[in-house]
Structure 1
Amino acid sequence: MSNRMSARIKKKSGYYVLNTITWLIVAIMIFPIYWMVKISLHSNNEILDGITGFSIPKPQWSNYVDMWKNINFADFFLNSLIICTLTMILSCMFAVMAGYALARFKFPGSGTFGMSIIATQMIPGIMFLLPIYLMFLAIKETIGLPMIDTYWGMVLVYTAFYTPMSIWIMRSFFVAIPRDLEESALIDGCTRFQAFVKVILPLSFPGIIATCVYVFLTAWDELLFAWVLTTTADVQTIPVGIRLFVGQYNNRYDLLMSAATVVTAPIIITFFLTQKYFIRGMTAGAVKG
């Protein structure tokens, strides 16, 4: 009896310890967001005088109005929305087709190709920066097609970067879908393409959502290539706008935090609206395949 009681006490202690650690990690992760929003609601004089984490500010909503007036934030926001949406659509299309092929068909080099997809993610992106820049200049000089400071140039770069990981996500999800469902559709008279469209795609919807969320959010936060490959506000994205904002208004911490809050809000909202599909899609294939 004593052994059983001690085991139960140990189990409960482990449960409380793990919960405490979990909530501590959550608090650490949430605190920067809380601090960002809090600072954005203070006046700049209050921030310079020093504030505490528990002080209750008198909301300065005018910070958000001034932030939109002092910089063309709407243009940066629209540019990010266009580039990230097009990147998401293209990456997801390529990922669905390639992921299905890797999950269902065995061909010479399929295993090597699958592993090479993940291997590309081990190469630092900065190593591609100069070659891509020089390649874009060569394209402009050779065929007269401008690539730098254009939507399609940024979409091409982002699609190339985020498609490999997207393929791996979709492949893992397709592997987790039983082949019997597809074979039943083939027996009922469907072609391979019809079985894919009518059976596999509906079942892979969570994986597609996870891929779209991953691509969109990752592209939304990218700064390095957007900073180098865009030169005017007609194409520059929100991270570049924030960077320019820091350079022009480095003493206006209230406006800086207001801008950061506006940038972060769509990401948080998108994740919470799609977290069920995102988590399910990211964990698909963890047991099978």
Structure 2
Amino acid sequence: MRTSRRRAFALNTLTWAIVALSLMPIGWMLLSSLRHPGDIVAGSVGFSDAPLRWQNYRDLWINVDFFTYFRNSLIVCGLTTVLSTLCALCAAYALARFRFRGARAASLGFTVTQVVPGMLFFLPLYMLYRSLGDRWGLQMLDSMHGLVFLYVALFTPASIWIMRGFFVSIPRDLEDAARIDGCSRFGAFVRIVLPLSAPGIIATATFVFLLAWDELFFAWVLTSSPDVQTIPVGIRLFISQFQHRYDLMMAAGAVSTLPVLLAFFAGQRYFVQGLAAGAVKG
């Protein structure tokens, strides 16, 4: 018993130490966002007698036009989350319930796409977007719908993997009973499967939103106008334009982190359940 208690105490201590180390950068960012630039340069960012500068957040929205980047990120990430979740919902249900030729190959293909770095297909993607604009008049470069289309293609395979695990864990007998009672397959899907798979849907939507919100590389190289650029690109440009305003940089980081934290904590329980269900074999 003493050995078990000591082991549990050691594991709890180690866990809290890791949590504290993980939260230190966030605490440093929040403190720096409320300090004078001179204090940050001098290294005196800790708890001091200097008053907190809440006007840093006001200056962020007024002087930098941060609202435009924030709005663009909400639009792009919101559309990406909805479309990717819907696509994953249909594809995952088909892979989990139907047996057809090529089902295993499709599942393997979705998994393989997750190990291919984005740098490898960036040049073909850029040439495709440019060709669509030159030949067909479909503006994909420097546009929100171009980013949304790309993000949906990037994040849907992993979303299918997560949701398929949820559909596999739902007994087929429930759908069979609903169909015996007069429901069509689509009716059984809407009335039985969707309510039971709500945690998986929320987990998938949270997963996609987190990935889309933090994506920088493609948003940086495929956009050039502030009217369509997202928060990661805005912060990157902000660093090059305001090199000595570290207080505003930290304030921008704090504001951009807030939606991600809210989305994660709102769907944290479902997100963990979704990842666990994704490991179900079937």
Aligned to 2:215: 222
1:185-218 Cα distance to aligned partner (Å, 9 max, x none): 1111111111001100011111000011111111
Establish whether residue 32 from structure 1 lines up as the match of residue 32 from structure 2.
no
Establish whether residue 85 from structure 1 lines up as the match of residue 81 from structure 2.
no
Q: Which amino acid aligns with 1:18?
A: L
Aligned to 2:116: 123
| CA drift at 1:53 | 4.2
Establish whether residue 48 from structure 1 lines up as the match of residue 41 from structure 2.
yes
The question of whether the paired residues in 2 share the 8 Å contact of 1:40 and 1:255 is answered with yes
Judged with a 3 Å threshold, the aligned counterparts in structure 2 of structure 1 residues 47 and 275 are, in CA distance, closer, same or farther, namely same
1:16-60 Cα distance to aligned partner (Å, 9 max, x none): 111111111111211111111011011111111222545465210
Given candidates 183, 186, 205, the residue that maps to 1:212 is: 205
The question of whether the paired residues in 1 share the 8 Å contact of 2:77 and 2:213 is answered with yes
CA distance in structure 2 between the partners assigned to 1:287 and 1:105 by the alignment: 17
Judged with a 3 Å threshold, the aligned counterparts in structure 2 of structure 1 residues 213 and 57 are, in CA distance, closer, same or farther, namely farther
Q: Which moved more, 1:279-288 or 1:168-177?
A: 279-288
Aligned to 2:262: 269
The question of whether the paired residues in 1 share the 8 Å contact of 2:76 and 2:147 is answered with yes
CA distance in structure 1 between the partners assigned to 2:244 and 2:200 by the alignment: 44
Q: Which amino acid aligns with 2:214?
A: D
CA distance in structure 2 between the partners assigned to 1:287 and 1:148 by the alignment: 39
Aligned to 2:246: 253
CA distance in structure 1 between the partners assigned to 2:222 and 2:110 by the alignment: 25
Percentage of identical aligned residues: 52
Aligned to 1:151: 144
CA distance in structure 2 between the partners assigned to 1:53 and 1:278 by the alignment: 34
| TM-align CA RMSD | 1.3
CA distance in structure 2 between the partners assigned to 1:76 and 1:177 by the alignment: 41
Aligned to 2:95: 102
Question: What count of residue pairs does the alignment treat as equivalent?
Answer: 282
CA distance in structure 2 between the partners assigned to 1:118 and 1:287 by the alignment: 15
The question of whether the paired residues in 1 share the 8 Å contact of 2:73 and 2:230 is answered with yes
CA distance in structure 1 between the partners assigned to 2:39 and 2:45 by the alignment: 10
Given candidates 50, 57, 67, the residue that maps to 2:60 is: 67
CA distance in structure 1 between the partners assigned to 2:210 and 2:253 by the alignment: 15
The question of whether the paired residues in 1 share the 8 Å contact of 2:57 and 2:248 is answered with yes
CA distance in structure 2 between the partners assigned to 1:52 and 1:265 by the alignment: 21
Matches within 5 A, 1:119-198: 119-198=112-191
CA distance in structure 2 between the partners assigned to 1:196 and 1:57 by the alignment: 60
| CA drift at 1:286 | 3.4
Q: Which moved more, 1:47-56 or 1:20-29?
A: 47-56
SS for the counterpart of 1:59 is coil
Given candidates 20, 40, 48, the residue that maps to 2:13 is: 20
The question of whether the paired residues in 1 share the 8 Å contact of 2:93 and 2:167 is answered with yes
Given candidates 252, 258, 272, the residue that maps to 1:279 is: 272
Judged with a 3 Å threshold, the aligned counterparts in structure 2 of structure 1 residues 172 and 135 are, in CA distance, closer, same or farther, namely same
Q: Which amino acid aligns with 1:194?
A: G
1:241-273 Cα distance to aligned partner (Å, 9 max, x none): 000100000111101000000000111111112
5+ residue gaps, structure 2, are: none
Q: Which amino acid aligns with 1:227?
A: W
Aligned to 1:5: none
Judged with a 3 Å threshold, the aligned counterparts in structure 2 of structure 1 residues 177 and 56 are, in CA distance, closer, same or farther, namely farther
Q: Which amino acid aligns with 2:248?
A: L
5+ residue gaps, structure 1, are: 1-7
CA distance in structure 2 between the partners assigned to 1:146 and 1:278 by the alignment: 35
Q: Which amino acid aligns with 1:40?
A: S
